[in-house]
Copies of this chain bind each other. A is one copy, B any other.
């Protein structure tokens, strides 16, 4: 299969490709914290393996095979993040670093069984969509409530966890899927939120909770 270094390159290229259509050597160098010269070397290797096309001085793009691999790595990463946060009780700031290691464990069976064990979650604790086994993922643009802009109405589209304590809290605050909400203000002290529901009710939401409620455009 592929080495950890190769997988990290592919993953980074995938993410950068969403902003620039051709990923430059320097952009990769900055993201991976390696020198441009090393990036050039690796791009040649990855081109030889047909994971990307590379044109001297003009950067690279993933091939279909490269994108497939990238989505698979992202799938592993986000499933582990979900596991760490949901099952082991890690805070969402802590999960990324550990998932960076776990994502490189090679075993298709492991990924599939983990997915099933977690109940086929569609979003990780940061609100990013988790690709399915074929690489498809929910494309809807959405953000956790705590990052949603003030005064812009939005729709509750998903929750990041099925924890019953979370679900209980949501139902008590009348925050069901499909509810329309407006963030009235964010308090600087603890980054908690005041939001207004359709019926005009004002509800106070901790930052912690706001991370698990996902909002999309109406």
B-contacting residues of A (Cβ < 8 Å)?
84, 87-90, 94, 97-98, 101-102, 105-107, 109-110, 113-114, 117
Q: Assembly of this chain: how many copies?
A: 2
Cβ–Cβ contact B88 & A98, under 8 A: no
State A202–B194 Cα separation when bound (angstroms).
66
* B-side contacts of A113, CB under 8 Å: 84, 88-90
Contacts of A101 on B, CB cut-off 8 Å? 105-107
**What 6 pairs across the A-B complex have the smallest Cβ distances?**
A88-B113, A101-B105, A98-B107, A88-B117, A98-B110, A102-B105
Q: In the complex, how many angstroms separate the beta carbon of A75 from the nearest chain B beta carbon?
A: 16
Inter-subunit contact B102/A114 (CB<8 Å): no
Asked if B98 contacts A114 (CB within 8 A), the reply is: no
Cα-based distance from A35 to B89 in the complex (angstroms):
43
Can you spell out 6 A-B residue pairs with CB atoms less than 8 angstroms apart? A89-B113, A90-B113, A94-B109, A98-B105, A98-B110, A101-B105
